[in-house]
Amino acid sequence: MKPIALTGIKPTGRPHIGNYLGMYRPALSLMENYLGMYFVADYHALTSLNDPAMLQSLVYEVAASWLALGLDPEEHIFFRQSDIPEIPEFTWILSCFTSKGLLNRAHAYKAAMDENLALGHDPDEGINAGLFYYPVLMAADILLYGSDVVPVGLDQKQHIEITRDIAEAFNRTYGEVLKVPEGLIQESVMKVPGIDGRKMSKSYDNTIPIFAPEKELRKRVMRIVTDSKRPEDPKDPTNDNLFALLQFFASPERIEEIRQLYVNGGAAYGTLKKELAELILSHFSDAREKFNTLIEDKPYIDKVLMQGAEKAREMGKPYLKAARKATGID
């Protein structure tokens, strides 16, 4: 049997090209050599998203994105996290092997706390325990199925380390029950700039959504921030968001030509933005078509996710059983 590559994506925003380059594409490229277990992490989303209609619709958008981008749900296991009742059960067991100090130091929790401190508030003001427990839930996601590798972006590296710590603590207590996974960290692709030049992220509202209607997608691309240089002025391509984004989608020859235009003068930002929009639309043209069909067929998505959840539960049961037995609960 092939080793397992597992990854989840939180349905808190519309999939954008930063997600694609940092997450979807690297994860999907493993499909040949691994059994892929990909899921929509809706329990994780609940730590920050409290609008039920929005959560529902984002679950479908994320699910349709995976399928449109090439995930084959027959060959691989594709499911929704909340369809696996073993997950919350396992989360509790694992929490008893998670040092609280480890969670105190988790980046997301620490950042929320630091923000409170900077404002002179109580350190835990407005922070729900779900956010604090986030890494334990994620460890359950990973350890339940005996995952071998976890392809994630650099921002998730600490979560993988915490998962490994938890598995090792459990195994130190009871023997080698849990498989300690490896992170497959995509360091280079994390530097996908958003339209304002900061890292592309839904929290900065600077994304280019992959499946937005064509007009909206073009508009986002035209809003990429550039300096006020004229077309004939020489420009430095190294710190330029537009150039950085073009590099992901243009052919190597074309990238070289554009580089020359930057350096020697002749690069008109408006024209290059239009070119980038065309490149993105053509890169995702099949996927966009599939997405539009899928998103209209929610019963189909539900069916795929249900079937995936059944397979995932079968995979998880032996590990949960072994963990329960080891602890003496079973």
Residue 186 binds ligand TRP, judged by CB under 6 A: no
Q: Which of 4, 10, 77, 98 binds ligand TRP (CB under 6 A)?
A: 10
Tokens of 246: 């073009």
Q: Which residue is nearest to ligand TRP (CB)?
A: 8
Determine the size of the site formed for ligand TRP (CB under 6 A): 14
Contact between 8 and ligand TRP by CB under 6 A: the answer reads: yes
Amino acid letter at 295? I
Q: What type of residue is 145?
A: Y
Which of 106, 138, 149, 279 is the binder for ligand TRP (CB under 6 A)?
A: 138
Query: Is 156 an interacting residue with respect to ligand TRP (CB under 6 A)?
Result: yes
Q: What does the DSSP 8-state code read for residue 200?
A: P
Contact 54, 44 (CB under 8 A): no
Residues in the chain: 330
Using CA atoms, how far apart are residues 301 and 130, in angstroms rounded to an integer? 27
User: Ramachandran region of residue 146, left (φ > 0), alpha (ψ -120 to 50) or beta?
Assistant: left
The contacts of residue 310 (CB under 8 Å, 6+ apart) are none
Residue 86 is encoded by which pair of tokens?
């073993």
- Minimum distance between the CB of residue 183 and ligand TRP, rounded to whole angstroms? 9
The residue (of 23 and 323) whose beta carbon lies closer to ligand TRP is 23
Cβ proximity to ligand TRP: between 18 and 237 the closer is: 18
**Would you count residue 7 as binding ligand TRP (CB under 6 A)?**
yes
Q: Which of 35, 77, 152, 224 binds ligand TRP (CB under 6 A)?
A: 152
Q: Is residue 141 near ligand TRP by the rule CB under 6 A?
A: yes
Residue 41 binds ligand TRP (CB under 6 A): yes
Query: Which residue of 69, 142, 143, 167 would you call a contact of ligand TRP, by CB under 6 A?
Result: 142
Q: Which stretch binds ligand TRP (CB under 6 A): 8-16, 116-124, 184-192, 312-320?
A: 8-16
Quick one: which of 287, 166, 311, 190 has its CA closest to 244?
A: 190
Q: Name the minimum Å distance from CB 115 to ligand TRP.
A: 18
Token pair recorded at residue 325: 């037995």
101-121: b or e for each residue (b if 16 or more CB lie within 10 Å)?
A: ebbeebebbeebbeebeeeee
Residues that bind ligand TRP (CB under 6 A): 6-10, 41, 44, 138, 141-142, 150, 152, 156, 159
